[in-house]
Structure 1
Amino acid sequence: QIIFSSALSDPWRDPWGDKEVDSEYVKEYEPEREDIKHLRILLCGPVGSGKSSFINSVSNILRGRMTIPALASYETHKIRKENSKTFYPLVFNDIMGLEEDSDSGVRPDDIKLAMKGHVKEGYKFNPVSPLSEADPGYNPEPSADDKVHVLVCVLSANSAEIKESVLQKMADIREAARDLGIPQMAMITKIDEACGETEENLRNVYKSTYLKQKVSMKDFSAAVGIPMNCIFPVKNYSHEIENKDDVDTLTLSALRHMIDFGDDFINKT
């Protein structure tokens, strides 16, 4: 259900991003450490929160056209540079969603192993049986490249109230990342599906009282433990067949912060 709310006279976040500046920043990024060829971003969140769609949106933006959708499994999603056989030094891992039932969805303990680099490419997470050292999908000696450099929690602005058990799983995962020193941030997706003002004009996102409440709501920011200045509203590409500047601007702003947070972590370890 789309909500119409009174618009704020002053935006709650300022300024609006600069697509060209952020795009150049992202495209020119290279890790400084010789043992790290790419910055690894792990996306986690409830089923249907838009993790795979975000990867698709980033690919659309960096390649300047619509691209083939990513599949939701523990695979390393690389983005090929436009008119090139090389890839950007950013990779994404998108894993099956967190669910309320403890016997379905990915297990938080397996996500913790993924953050440490112990999950091999193509591993199929088993909600009933956790990954163990005896499993063929276990990577016993992860390299610096295998480890996660940024954890991004993904939630949908259009979802009903998030279940307490799912929030607890996300909080556990965030705390595990904190213990490993891994930076965390969050994205609120589907903002156009949740807010009427934003559906009409995406630039109203920072004037929406509804979305501000969503971002700062106690059952997300406080429960999961991510401050408001590390939470980014985005609109993923869904029905569009051409790129749109305002969609790109929000996504690139979030992506630039992922790079900054991850690069700081890489250079500290």
Structure 2
Amino acid sequence: MGSSQSTETEFEYGKPWRDTPWRKKDYLEKTLKEFELSDPNIKYARILVVGQIGSGKSSFINSVNSVFQRRITNEALVNKTTDRSTTFTKLYKTYHIRNGQSVMPFVLSDTMGLESEDLHGIHTEDIVKAMGGYIKERYKFNPESSITPEDEGYRSNPSLQDHTYCLVFVMAADKISLADDDNIYEKVKYIKSKADELEIPQVMILTKPDDACPLVNKDLRKIYTSKKIKEKLKEYSEHTGISVSHIFPVKCYHEEIDTQNDMDVLILRAFKHIEQMANDALRLKCNENKNSE
């Protein structure tokens, strides 16, 4: 008994350090499905998804759609191999969030993965351009150089519809430490600084929490009693400047054949936060645009 209590104290807090509405999946889903943008002239608020290679960007996009479809979806192609050394996504692609046969007023735009080495993975300036709406759909990223106005995929006059209203960083919790990957941190901090200049809010999705913590692997509901997961949130916050309150550990769908309540709740909770921040940014942007006319 004493050994068991000692083990629990070592790896787990006595009570959750963040409240989670485990029994309110239907309420969360209903609230999000009924969400309306602050400006009726904007059809979709764009959410830009970026992250380190192998972190699960595309899996997160698929998981959001899976929750609302109530079945496993795979619109955003995912690398099924165990090789996480090179990026899989090459094109700039936008995905609608489907609510049955209709679509919700938000879109998720996927990007090439970040890599620590220069001339590999997405060029950070391409992410900056995407935030401003300058990159067209299906543009093929070039790791060696950023897009220019002379490129076919460049949009010269982006509309409010093309702008990004929330930037979502996707990072993996199962990394032992990123101490040896300072270049990734530097790239994330640079992208964040540019998003701050554009007044675009940022959220971080922390994937693979079950691979990072044995407690969570056995019981997903221990995600907010796990000391390991809280340490990871603090680590990423300290190295990137993103507030802990804006970091959400989420288990994405990748081997399941049916959706699961607890996974859905974590995804919905995170997406509700993203939606609200995007809508606030959209309101400010539209007001500024009206005042400048």
- Asked if the contact 1:35/1:145 (under 8 Å) is kept, the reply is no
Partner residue of 1:40 out of 26, 43, 46: 46
User: Structure 1-normalised TM-score?
Assistant: 0.94
Which secondary structure does the structure 1 equivalent of 2:117 belong to? coil
Partner residue of 2:234 out of 202, 216, 219: 216
Q: Which amino acid aligns with 1:147?
A: H
- Number of corresponding residues: 262
- Asked if the contact 1:156/1:189 (under 8 Å) is kept, the reply is yes
Q: Which amino acid aligns with 1:101?
A: E
Task: Report deviation, 1:87.
Answer: 1.5
| Cα distance in 2 for residues equivalent to 1:19 and 1:179 | 35
| Cα distance in 1 for residues equivalent to 2:98 and 2:213 | 33
- Asked if the contact 1:53/1:69 (under 8 Å) is kept, the reply is no
- Asked if the contact 1:234/1:251 (under 8 Å) is kept, the reply is yes
Deviations 1:138-183 (A, max 9, x none): 0001011111000011110112422100110001001100100000
Higher alpha-carbon Rg: 2
| Cα distance in 1 for residues equivalent to 2:16 and 2:206 | 17
Q: Which amino acid aligns with 2:201?
A: P
The answer for the alignment partner of 1:202 in structure 2 is 220
Task: Tell me the C-alpha RMSD between the 2 structures.
Answer: 1.3
| Cα distance in 1 for residues equivalent to 2:282 and 2:193 | 19
Q: Equivalent pairs: percent with the same residue?
A: 38
User: Structure 2-normalised TM-score?
Assistant: 0.87
Question: Map of 1:126-141 to 2, 5 A cutoff?
Answer: 126-141=142-157
| Cα distance in 2 for residues equivalent to 1:110 and 1:235 | 28
Task: Report deviation, 1:16.
Answer: 3.5
For structure 2, the residue ranges without an aligned partner over 5 or more in a row are 1-7, 78-88, 286-293
- Pair 1:254-2:270 in alignment: yes
Task: Report deviation, 1:20.
Answer: 1.5
Deviations 1:195-251 (A, max 9, x none): 11111110000000000000011xx21221111111000000111101100000000
Partner residue of 2:30 out of 24, 33, 38: 24
- Asked if the contact 1:41/1:151 (under 8 Å) is kept, the reply is yes
Q: Which amino acid aligns with 2:65?
A: S
Q: Which has the higher contact order (CA 8 A, sep 6+)?
A: 1
| Cα distance in 2 for residues equivalent to 1:103 and 1:77 | 27
The answer for the alignment partner of 1:80 in structure 2 is 98
The answer for the alignment partner of 1:59 in structure 2 is 65
- Asked if the contact 1:108/1:173 (under 8 Å) is kept, the reply is yes
Deviations 1:86-134 (A, max 9, x none): 3111110111110011010001111000000000000011011210011
| Cα distance in 2 for residues equivalent to 1:69 and 1:35 | 27
Question: Map of 1:1-269 to 2, 5 A cutoff?
Answer: 6-17=11-22, 18-71=24-77, 72=89, 73-82=91-100, 84=101, 86-162=102-178, 163-217=181-235, 220-269=236-285
| Cα distance in 2 for residues equivalent to 1:111 and 1:44 | 8
